[in-house]
């Protein structure tokens, strides 16, 4: 059974407490941190994340789409986040960052942009708690799913069968089953959970139903 990690990127920030309460049946809460440099969009910082982690019993993960992630790890760890996910495209020192994340008491994840090959993980995979395969180019919610990345999910699951494989971007009831069949075990879902007029709890239940028999 795949775990579901809603991203609050497209939630209603004016009603954030209520929005978070509506995803209580999820498994994780996914926080998309963007700095306007690594990706062109800009979202939120550690104080915002701290407010979120204080408002939910769900474990939270920060997906750090930022330049110089090494400068920020401690701040997000202090915000009460359980898992920190960094991009190898943002640092020449992925191995060191993974050690630093663990030293901060967090789980360590690494995220691959669609254009980055799985081989970028070869030397760190044994130290990771999770590998995130981006199924859109990072920066915005609501983008179209890149089916080409199913191959990378399959490769990742075959190469690292004991590693949790997370997918992020365009995940919904249509793409979720394909991803789970390919080897994904954690599904990030943004706009399919927090879409206009949607009931997030119902959307999570529908995604669970759609993916429960996929592997």
List residues with catalytic annotation.
32, 168
Residue 163 or 189: which CB sits closer to Zn ion?
Answer: 189
Residue 169 CB, nearest approach to Zn ion (Å): 7
Query: Which pair of tokens denotes residue 204?
Result: 């999570």
Given the structure tokens 């690292």, which residue do they identify? Answer: 160
Give the up-direction half-sphere exposure of residue 5: CA atoms within 13 A in the CB hemisphere: 25
The phi, psi pair for 33, rounded to 5°, reads -95, 115
Residue 63 CB, nearest approach to ligand DX5 (Å): 5
Select the binding partner of residue 169 from Zn ion, ligand DX5, none (C-beta < 5 to 8 A, by kind): ligand DX5
Select the binding partner of residue 175 from ligand DX5, Zn ion, none (C-beta < 5 to 8 A, by kind): none
Residue 124 or 193: which CB sits closer to ligand DX5?
Answer: 193
Rounded Cα–Cα distance for residues 25 and 159 (Å): 31
Give the CA distances from residue 17 to residues 9, 50, 62, in Å, rounded to whole numbers and listed in that order: 14, 13, 18
Query: Which pair of tokens denotes residue 42?
Result: 């800009």
- Could you list the residues that contact Zn ion (CB under 5 A)? 32, 63, 168
Give the CA distances from residue 96 to residues 2, 12, 41, 69, 126, in Å, rounded to whole numbers and listed in that order: 29, 36, 26, 11, 13
Select the binding partner of residue 170 from ligand DX5, Zn ion, none (C-beta < 5 to 8 A, by kind): ligand DX5
Residue facing Zn ion at closest CB distance: 63
Residue 103 CB, nearest approach to ligand DX5 (Å): 25
Residue 7 or 90: which CB sits closer to ligand DX5?
Answer: 7
Residue 138 CB, nearest approach to ligand DX5 (Å): 4
- Could you list the residues that contact ligand DX5 (CB under 6 A)? 7, 9, 30, 32, 63, 136, 138-143, 168-171, 188-192
* DSSP symbol at 197: T
């Amino acid at each position: 059974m795949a775990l579901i990690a809603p991203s609050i990127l497209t939630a209603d920030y004016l009603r954030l407490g209520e929005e978070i309460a509506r995803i209580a049946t999820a498994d994780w809460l996914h926080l998309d941190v963007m700095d306007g440099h690594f990706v062109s969009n800009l979202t939120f910082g550690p104080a915002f994340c701290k407010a979120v982690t204080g408002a939910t019993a769900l474990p939270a993960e920060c997906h750090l789409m930022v330049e110089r992630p090494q400068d920020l790890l401690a701040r997000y760890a202090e915000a009460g986040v359980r898992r920190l996910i960094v991009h190898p495209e943002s640092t020449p020192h992925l191995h060191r960052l993974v050690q630093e994340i663990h030293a901060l008491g967090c789980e360590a994840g690494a995220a691959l942009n669609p254009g980055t090959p799985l081989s970028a993980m070869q030397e760190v995979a044994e130290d990771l708690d999770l590998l995130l395969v981006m199924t859109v180019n990072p920066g915005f919610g609501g983008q179209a799913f890149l089916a080409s990345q199913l191959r990378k999910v399959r490769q990742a699951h075959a190469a690292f069968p004991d590693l949790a494989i997370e997918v992020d971007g365009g995940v919904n009831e249509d793409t979720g089953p394909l991803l789970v069949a390919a080897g994904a075990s954690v599904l990030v879902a943004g706009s399919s959970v927090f879409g206009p007029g949607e009931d997030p709890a119902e959307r999570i239940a529908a995604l669970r139903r759609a993916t429960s028999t996929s592997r």
